[in-house]
Amino acid sequence: MHSLIIAEKPELGRAIAKAIDGPSKEVRGVIVKKNVTITWAYGHLLRLCEPDEYDAKYKKWRKEDLPICFENWKLVPDGNKKERVMQIMALIEQCDQIIHAGDPDDEGQFLIDEILQYAQNTKPVKRVYINDNTPANIKKAFHELIDNDEKLIAIGRSAYARAVADYVVGINYSRLYSLALRRSGMSVGRVQSPTLGLIVTRDEQIDNHVKQKYYEWHVDGALLHEDVLIPFVFKPKSDLLDDGKHILHKEILEEIAQQVHQQDVQKVKVEEKEMEVHPPLPFNLAKLQAHMNTKYGFTLAKTDQITQTLRDKYQAITYNRSDSQYLKEEHFTEADKVLPHVMAKLQESYPVDYQIHSECFNDKYVTAHHAIIPTMSDFPIQALLPDERKVYEEICRYYIMQFLPPIKKRQVIASIKSEQGELRAVSTFILDEGYKQFFQPEKEDDGDHEETDSGKFTLPKGNYEAVLQEDVFVEKETNPPKRYTQATLIKDMTSIAKYVKDKEIKDILKKKDKGKKGENGSIGTSATRSQIVETLLKRGYVVMKGKQILSTQLGKDFYHLLPDEIKTADLTAKWWVIQEDIKEGKADVKTLVDSVLEAFIPHLKEDLSHVKVESVPIDDKREAVGICPVCGNKIVENTKGFGCVNYRNGCKFALWKEDRFLQGIGKTMNKAMAEKLLKDKYCLVKVMQEGTESIKILQLGIRNGRAVYRLLDYQKTQ
């Protein structure tokens, strides 16, 4: 029996080939072994059809055509991936059975199922679950094959349902608001819009922040055993905090202090505790993106792209779009081979201890993927570009840290209890600097959030008496929250549930991520979050100001215009419940899509004719090639052509360098041609026809805000 194994990605396909005994040769993405052919997809090879592929009338956006929805959303090969689809279909024809090697999650299930459905496959299909590309794990997985039955297909169907529902949201809400506001390019999305909401809300909290004074009670010193003088800080009980965080009235603290001072001598309890601070866990993609943004200023998209290069071109790291920070036990047993290889490549040496079993090695917490770590790939590190090397080195060092000792500390804590809280003094002593002798992780990654030291003091644990010295009532002012950076934004995308007020929705979001360490009530996925942020920037809803990401007036206006069901994380929670029902056969794709339409249809009756949103401010310093014939702004040169700087406000006008019409007459748009066309609406060009060179007139026209051309005979027009 000849089996065809279809993996989700090239690196998994090649890893499977290495795990199967016998020689092999790869030709055009296909590896043949005895009785086995191995091939792979490149992520999703199919896409949902555009509305105008069902009916040409949908090319023009009209409110009367909404809502746009179809009984059966068709899947077709995505652009240049058609050849790959045809290749896999031919391999299906030649095999006796298929082994489905998609990632072990709902998206991975659907990704291979959609290919089999498109090919109208009738061959038997087995399912293999591989969440670790080590040879031992792959061999073990192939001894545990199961039927790709209806129960598993239903899991993939839930991912298809989400894709269709996202598409229905995007098409209908985006067209509705683009038409209502009379400007193209207004986009709406289940993840995009709540992400915009995070930024808008944060900016408005900052803009509207009113400073409030609050107070703290410090005791300059308390005289203890053998004239030891220790400063104390009062920690009030939570019910005394006016706004949940602070005491806003000095009188409250003065009254508490007076009550405490009624006793001349205070009882002080001194405790000691020793603690260990372990290294931060290895990276998942979100943590890596945040780290690289904080340390080097890399955008989320840049880090994502670099990890793709490290994985695909150099096989230097494991799967890069992981949402997990944990590793399998197999990785622990392989570390004594991997780490020497990595340290030699980095030309660095650390006193790693292979007996240290970091908390990251926990099979229970490995989801469809494991943490991003370096591999045994023998690629030339000098071939990496400087920024690629930075990403690679950070991944390596966070893995190396797992085999270095923890920081060891001893804390002496003195406390004076009262009915309203306690006076506390803390002194911390570093006993062993552990991994920090070699690495200084970013503060946010350290996980070390101990109390602030009150100053160095040491006392044996026990009970003492103390006389309180001078009271100091410190006046402070509240600060607004900090502006988002791409690093802090992606962290909040992984834990947006903390901002949700509805307890039911909050609980659903957290339940959705149960078992996923590093995701706690999230929106988006590791693979899509950087794309979401790039879309917000491209649409002009947000802008970058240094490392900060700020909402524009357009972003604020548009966000506040959107209905509640779109601009909050509620939709993700509600959809997840329906998707779980789809997996169990209690619902279908139509159930989820109907829930979208039910929410959307009432908005068709809204009158938005009076609503206006701000334009994106245009601050483009590039030299003008000419004036836009559509909107009157300037045209500037970019890599692909000559475009209007007003594109973020919906102007589509551009003169493309590789325009198909121009290529048809053997021409490429250059700066001189663009300047002439924009000024006079025509220019002369030399054209080769039937071996004869002649001069023609290239005339510029405008149709639906876009450039169109026609060619006129030069002689006849003189």
pLDDT at 718: 41
Which amino acid, 77? P
Q: Which residue has the higher pLDDT, 508 or 450?
A: 508
Closest by Cα among 59, 60, 50, 43 to 168:
50
Q: What's the pLDDT band for 244 if we cut at 50, 70, 90?
A: low
Asked if residue 389 has pLDDT above 60, the reply is: yes
Q: Which amino acid is at 51?
A: P
Question: Which residues are bridge partners to 463 per DSSP?
Answer: 269
Out of 24-38, 75-89, 472-486, 692-706, pick the least confident: 692-706
| pLDDT attached to residue 72 | 87
451-470 CB burial, b ≥16 within 10 A, e <16: eeebeebebeeeebebebee
Closest CA to 46 of 72, 17, 77: 77
Numbers of helices and strands, H then E, in the chain: 22, 25
d(CA 642, CA 679): 14
Name the residue with higher pLDDT: 160 or 648. Answer: 160
Q: Which position has the higher pLDDT, 201 or 651?
A: 201
From 95-109, 163-177, 212-226, 323-337, the region with the lowest mean pLDDT: 212-226
- pTM for the model stands at 0.81
Pairing of strands 641-644, 634-637: antiparallel
pLDDT of amino acid 338: 95
pLDDT category at 213 given cuts 50, 70, 90 is very high
Please name which of 123, 124, 126, 131 lies closest in space to residue 144, comparing C-alpha atoms. 126
Residue 72 CA to residue 59 CA, distance in Å, equals: 19
Neighbour order of strands in the sheet with 682-689? 682-689, 692-703, 706-713
Q: Mean pLDDT, to the nearest integer, of 470-481?
A: 93
What pLDDT score does 477 carry? 93
Residue 480 has what DSSP assignment? P
Highest-scoring range by mean pLDDT, 167-171, 228-232, 568-572: 167-171
Q: Give whole-number Cα distances, 455 to 44, 74, 276, in Å.
A: 58, 68, 21
Looking at residue 133, its pLDDT comes to 73
pLDDT, tens digit, 9 for 90 and up, residues 413-428: 999 999 899 999 999 9
pLDDT in tens, 47-95: 999 999 999 999 899 999 999 999 889 999 988 899 999 999 999 999 9
**189 with 558: CB under 8 angstroms?**
no
pLDDT band for position 128 (cuts 50, 70, 90): very high
654: pLDDT strictly greater than 90: yes
**Quick one: tokens of 139?**
């061999």
Q: Which of 173, 214, 314, 319 is catalytic?
A: 319
All residues at 6 or more sequence positions from 403 whose CB lies less than 8 Å from its CB, including other chains: 335, 339, 352, 353, 354, 356, 358
Q: Which stretch, 526-540, 588-602, 642-656, has highest mean pLDDT? A: 588-602
d(CA 331, CA 625): 57
For residue 491, count CB atoms less than 10 angstroms from its CB and return exposed for 0-12, middle for 13-18, buried for 19 or more. middle
506 near 497, Cβ under 8 Å? yes
Q: What pLDDT, in 10s, does the model give residues 579-616?
A: 999 999 999 999 999 999 999 999 998 887 777 777 66
**Strands (E) located in 228-315:** 229-236, 266-277
DSSP secondary structure string for all residues of 407-469? EEEEEEEEEEEETTEEEEEEEEEEEE-GGGGT----HHHH---PPPP-------SEEEEEEE-
| Interval 690-711: pLDDT, tens | 778 888 899 998 887 789 999 8
Residue 277 near residue 407, CB atoms below 8 Å: yes
CB 562 within 8 A of CB 188: yes
Q: Is 319 an active-site residue? A: yes
Would you call the peptide bond into 135 cis, given omega within 30 degrees of 0 as the criterion?
no
Q: Which of 236, 210, 234, 208 is nearest to 220 (CA)?
A: 234
Mean pLDDT over residues 15-44, rounded? 91
User: Under DSSP, is residue 188 helix (H, G, I), strand (E, B) or coil?
Assistant: coil
Of all residues in the chain, the percent with pLDDT exceeding 90 is: 63
CA distance 217 to 220: 10
Q: Which long-range contacts (CB under 8 A, 24 or more apart) does 251-255 make?
A: 252/215, 253/215, 253/216, 253/217, 253/473, 254/473
CA distance 526 to 539: 21
| Percent of the residues in the chain that have a pLDDT greater than 70, as a whole number | 97
Q: In which element (H, E) is residue 301 found? A: helix 300-312
- DSSP class of 590: H
- 340 contacts 410 by C-beta, under 8 angstroms: no
pLDDT digits (tens, 9 = 90+) for 620-642: 778 889 888 877 778 999 989 99
Report which of 278, 274, 272, 280 is spatially closest to residue 407, judged by C-alpha positions.
Answer: 278
Q: Mean per-residue pLDDT for 474-497?
A: 94
pLDDT at 618: 65
Question: Which pLDDT does position 717 carry in this prediction?
Answer: 42
List C-alpha distances in Å: 272 to 249, 321, 411, 459: 34, 43, 6, 9
Question: Which burial class, exposed, middle or buried, applies to 190 when counting CB atoms under 10 A from its CB (0-12, 13-18, 19+)?
Answer: buried
Question: Do residues 478 and 214 touch, judged by C-beta distance below 8 A?
Answer: yes
The rounded mean pLDDT for the chain is: 90
Is residue 50 a contact partner of residue 174, using CB atoms and an 8 Å limit?
no
Contact 161, 589 (CB under 8 A): yes
Model confidence at 648: pLDDT above 80: no
Compute φ and ψ for 180, nearest 5 degrees. -65, -40
Segment 551-557 mean pLDDT = 90
Shortest CA distance to 123 belongs to which of 11, 20, 212, 6? 6
How far is 544 from 323, CA to CA, in rounded Å? 26
Span 222-232, average pLDDT:
80
As a whole number of angstroms, the distance between CA 327 and CA 281 comes to: 10
Q: How far apart are CA 326 and CA 283, in angstroms?
A: 9
Give the best-scoring range by mean pLDDT among 335-349, 658-672, 698-712. 335-349
- pLDDT (average), residues 527-556: 89
Token readout for 592 is 């989820």
**Mean pLDDT of the region 18-34:** 90
